[in-house]
Amino acid sequence: MLGVTVPLDLFLASTSPRRSALLQQAGLRFALCEPGAEYAPGAGDEHRSQQGDPLALAVERARRKGAGASAPDPTVPVLAVDTVVDLDGTELGKPRDREHAEQMLRRLSGRLHRVHTAHYLRQPSTGRSLERAASAVVACGPLDAARLERYLDSGQWRGKAGSYGVQDDAQDSFHVIDGSHDTVVGLHVPAVLALLAAIREPL
């Protein structure tokens, strides 16, 4: 009906176009809001691998981004998400530049690694918050010189944890072998749906 405003399912506290696309594909109604600070003061930045368990780091960052987000309507839940690449218990952050990306890709070449995506959902009007994480195992085939150069030349590695996107059309070496593809892209839709259902339940 004309003039009827459809209520939002959530605010997404993220600047990632990939996360927005996944929510759109799932048919969720959302708007964007500014996330809170991802890193505690003095704790580093996205281009450095932080010390500690990669999954725990993802959970902590998602919590900070969600707790510090400012949404215009307190009745609508706020979702924050963080994704980390975990190589043998060590986080691989986002690349500073091409050389840094090449270093990380060479470390991943021919090996298995894990990707963890942490989701934090907060209901501002009540202060209630819920968390859920999803993990997947990714295999990277051997990256020969031609494959590596082609992907680096594409620039698609920019701004991505571990210096790659499993969905990128310039690469054919990364494949999800256990877990969900969307977890590796950066948001696990079933986890979000479960959180939304749970936060709507009366206490």
Degrees (nearest 5) of the Cα angle 93, 16, 84? 30
Scored b (16 or more CB within 10 A) or e, 161-187 reads bbbbbbbeeebebbebeebbebbbbbb
Question: Is position 82 annotated as part of the catalytic site?
Answer: yes
Distance of alpha carbon 183 from alpha carbon 18, whole angstroms: 11
Q: Which among 45, 73, 82, 169 is annotated as catalytic?
A: 82
- 99 φ, ψ to 5°? -65, -45
| Contact assessment for residue 9 and residue 30, using Cβ atoms and an 8 Å cutoff | yes
Count CA atoms within 13 Å of residue 92 on its CB side: 24
What 3-state DSSP class applies to 15? coil
Indicate which residues carry an active-site annotation.
82
